[in-house]
Structure 1
Amino acid sequence: MNKNPVDAALILVFLYPLLKGFLFKFSSKNMKSDIEEIGGYISFIIGVILGTYLTKKIFMIHQDGVYAKIYNNIPEQIISALESKPLLIYVLVMPIIIFLIYKVVQIIIDLINSITLYPLLDSIEDLLKGKSGFVKRIIGLLFQLPKGVCYVILLALVLNVLVIIGVNDTYNKKLNESKLYGNICKNIINPITNSKLAKKIPNVINDSFKIVIKNSEDQPGNESGKTIVYYNGITLSEGIKSNEEIDSFSRELVKNKKTSKEKAKIIYNWIGQNIEYDYDKVDKILDNDFTIKSGAINTFNTKKGICFDYSCLYSAMCKANNIKVRIVTGEGFNGSNWVSHAWNEVYISEENKWINVDTTFYKGGNYFDSSIFKLDHKDRKIAG
């Protein structure tokens, strides 16, 4: 029996309005009140959809068309504040935009309801005069279905926001175990909160990237007592191992670029555009099958991999061009919850600084030296 509290909460909020509709029967007066309430929920959901989309397009992506023009006309003081504290985008800017859209949509919906649905409900009530109480109960239940769906979506949105903020590991684990929440996020919440971007970003699954630390006392040829770290069954040095084909290709790819940042960006773009996320490999790793091949060479040859493979290939291609690079492990937000993840940091010599790079998330937006990087990456640890 599934005792996950997240599943139970989602089921209960769906059933509550249905039970209420059955018990109190259908009445025009009650339905008008319910429709007004549902209109508020729909207005809020539309506000979240459009508000989140516009906020991300203007303040996070802002790479094309009218969004770039809007972003470029925002006062520099505001941009500087948001770049220094990107969380303000989520806790201040986005709520304001969502609220404004919500109020406009609510006014429009109320106007439409007063002209269409409310007169229709009065007509239905007239038709039901003389009908049995059971018929009215069934109709009352059916009319509450939209409300039940709205309740579920609203609760899932709240749970999603709480996990983004990072309540605690136990909460994240419960969400990760909830198949119902996962399906709602995949089919409803992610498209709402991320629009087309959510559909493009790989559905990184928890435990698909596994780190195992072993003592090497019983490992032939290794110094006694030394620990060895394995990433999906291989060491880091094995993962970033390159060959002449990769090295030659990498140098040719960036031959017309002069700075390390230009070269690093070209490599980031190439991997993001040409390497696909390997879901078959994920299934095998979840089953603890480490006979699969990992690392830069296999990823370059097959054009497939998971986050560790993306990071290894990026490291190998940067090293071929004498660019300092390292692999970082931690957690990434996959749209539903925080999962184990790997990405890169590359040293930009002309600017004397390390920048964040995530080739796995390439299709989800700008993850090359982005000011919003820390919003969906946390618990950073340098692997090497």
Structure 2
Amino acid sequence: MASWIHAITTFEPVALIILALLLVSLVQGLVKGASGSAKRLFFFVWDGVLMLLSFFAAWKTAALLSPVIAKLLSGVHPPEKEVGSLVQLWYTFVTSLSDFALFRYGVLMLLLYAVFRFAAARLASPIERWVDRLGGRRSSRMADHDMEDGRHLLPGGRLASRVIGGIIGAIHGAVRSFLLVAVLFVYSTLAPNGPFTEKIRSSDVYSEASAQLLEPVAGQLLADRGPVLTEAVGDELQRIIQRKYEIKDYAIPDNIAEAALSVTKDATTDEEKARALYRWVGTRIAYDWDKARNYEEHGIWKEQTPEDTFQSRLGVCIDVSRLYAVMARASGLEVRVVTGMGGTTASGFGPHAWNEVRIMGPEGNPIWVPLDATWAMSGDWFNPPGFETTHIPSV
């Protein structure tokens, strides 16, 4: 709620658009309910039911199909020769579907919603025609006392009609808002440097809504090991992860410093700065599954600097953590890279890296809080409850 109030009072575009969708849908429902037309209200309610069922079916079906699509596309790789912009865009889309589980889920959900909505409309059309004919015959019998004018509704009936219309209108608005968030998610993933992407990604309301919308896949992503290097790779990888990068990353490249200052320019506290950077790094840097697999299967480790990660927008946990640390220091924050084991009881644990940042605590004293930007696309991993059960630091 606090993020909504802040977003609206600061005229955050995403929050204002979602609020407008909700309000327009609610007013639409109240108007339909107040019209006194039983037929008109029925069709509005009927449309809301079909919308809700289609959304729920798409939500669940996308989660089931996501791993199947990933397997089918796993062998697709961009051509090594130079290609045109359209072909390049196509391979970017396909490889993103293959490697990025949450992007794949968002695309599938939007496509499946359109399919289910179309199918529901076709299947329901006989019922709608029957109701329409029934309403027409009834109207002709009523003659000048047509129910469309609502004069035959008792006050209590009209109130109930408005309430029903308002509830269905709220459902319309919620579904439309979630679909908008999915569209914004797909767009900002495909065009990380595109127009409006910065505004979208910086929205607290968008971050919260996308986490809720993609929660089924987020949980499954971690349950299937997620962005954690497998424990089977042994002690050598642990030593690599545990390297100390404070000296190596001491110099902050100008482009990273400029980006960090731009991301935190509207933050007024250290916590707001830390959260803004967490969102930026967590939504801009995709997990480099090829790098992880290359080490796990062939023992080949690709060392990269924070600037490499910043430019390529790819990295594993240590790369993401190092970039976050450099950007945090550029913003005047005290930060450190933490190494250890990450995972869940269901998935098992593997070598992992994350960050801790020093901010002012609720009692006015500085405290260190943990965050995991590598896992940011699978939920809120900025100092959540139970963080210590999924992230075990090395002694």
Class of the TM-score when normalised by the shorter of the 2 chains: 0.3 to 0.5
Per the normalisation by structure 2, the TM-score is 0.40
Structure in which a larger fraction of residues adopt helix = 2
